[in-house]
Amino acid sequence: MNYFSVISVKHRIMKSILSLFFSLSVLTTFSQNTEINQLTSDGLKTGKWQKKHSSGELKYEGTFENDTPVGEFNRYDVNGKLTSTLLYSNGGKRAAAYLYNPNGIKLASGIYINQKKDSLWRFFDKEGVLFSEKTYKDGTLHGAYVEYYPDGKVHFQRTYKDGEIIGDYREFYPNGQLRSKKTYENGNPTGIVIIYYNNGVPKIVGKYNAGLKDGEWKFYDRRHKIVKTEKHENGAMIYTSEELISYWNDSLEIVRTREKFEKNGRSYLKSYYPTGELHREGYYWKGKKDSSWNYYAKSGELEMVRTFHKGKRQGNWTYKYPNGKVKSEEAWYLDRREGEYVEYYENGKIKIKGNYEKGNKSGEWQYFDENGVLLETKNFDLE
């Protein structure tokens, strides 16, 4: 082998060694670049990190620099569905957040500063429609707060300071009409409050003092006629006067009218037909009908008298036909029929006659035709 042949062989060997070294370097570099869940010599998280649920599904993935999150972080539920994306900046102190439901629809978006909600946050319903906008500072409501109807119209708006409502509060009907307005101080309503019907007519006008009802409160019907007055002192009602109260439908037609007042030291109520005639009247006991109640036809004729005891039917009851003739007579005891029952035809002849015991038909019952002729007899035995 001559000199030049030796040189050629050495050259080829050196070339192969260099090629192998380069290949190993590339593989080592590639391996280092794809490693995850690494720690620095100081034990700090660095590079790409992943964590999995016990089911094996990915729980989160993101990148750290010296234990500080940087860039994009994604979190997933146990089924592998994306639940949130956080975009970190400013040394991990700030994160733009996007939260999702299992169907991938955005539920909320906003900013975290030092892991606390800050600035404007938007919240969406399950269909992804904007539901509310809230402003935060250090994780606490601070600034404008607005909620919306599904069509985007404002439902209500208010302002917070350090978690407490301050200033003007406004609530609106779906048609955009103002529903109520009041003012807050230190988280409590104070001053004048007005609540409106959906046609813009005031419904209630009153005043708060440090969150407590104070002074005179007035209640109106849809035509702005006063129907009730209350007087409050330090949140306690010390006087109430209910006058003639009318109930209206959306077409401003009277559907019911009533009058409530004190009589013989007890609550007494009169209810009227839409056309103004007295319909019924009687006493109340703790919100329940009590004692005798009179029921009238539109003509003003007494149709029936009913007796109640603490809301339960009691005593003898008589029902009448529109012409005033008796339709039936029956007795009640603690809300159950008890004793004789008689039902009449409009010509005054008996139609049915029998007895009740503990709310059930008992003994012999007779059934007649319109001429008073007995048609049938039945016997009922209590078990």
User: What's residue 298's pLDDT?
Assistant: 84
Q: Which helix (H) or strand (E) holds 5?
A: helix 3-34
User: What's residue 285's pLDDT?
Assistant: 79
Domain assignment of residue 322, yes or no: yes
Exposed/middle/buried for residue 36 (C-beta within 10 Å: 0-12, 13-18, 19+): exposed
Domain assignment of residue 180, yes or no: no
Domain assignment of residue 130, yes or no: no
Do 57 and 79 touch, CB atoms closer than 8 A?
yes
Residue 289 has a CB neighbour count (10 Å cut-off) of: 21
Residue type at 141 in one-letter notation: L
User: What's residue 262's pLDDT?
Assistant: 64
Domain assignment of residue 167, yes or no: no
Domain that holds residue 322: 244-380
CA dist., res. 14 & res. 1, Å (int)? 19
Residue 246's SS3 state is strand
Domain assignment of residue 274, yes or no: yes
Domain assignment of residue 359, yes or no: yes
Mean pLDDT by 10 residues, the chain (383 residues): 48 53 43 74 95 94 96 96 97 97 96 97 96 97 97 97 96 96 94 94 94 91 79 81 61 64 70 83 83 86 84 86 86 91 95 93 94 93 58
**Domain harbouring 359, CATH code:** 3.90.930.1
CA dist., res. 378 & res. 324, Å (int)? 30
Q: Number of folded domains in the chain? A: 1
In the DSSP assignment, the letter for residue 175 is: T
* Among candidate residues 227, 172, 226, 168, the one with its CA nearest the CA of residue 200: 172
CA dist., res. 21 & res. 245, Å (int)? 98
Please name every residue paired with 117 in a beta bridge, in sequence order, or none if there are none: 112
Residues 6+ apart with CB under 8 A from 211: 187, 188, 189, 190
Structure token pair of residue 324 = 């005033």
Do 219 and 203 touch, CB atoms closer than 8 A?
yes
CA dist., res. 122 & res. 106, Å (int)? 10
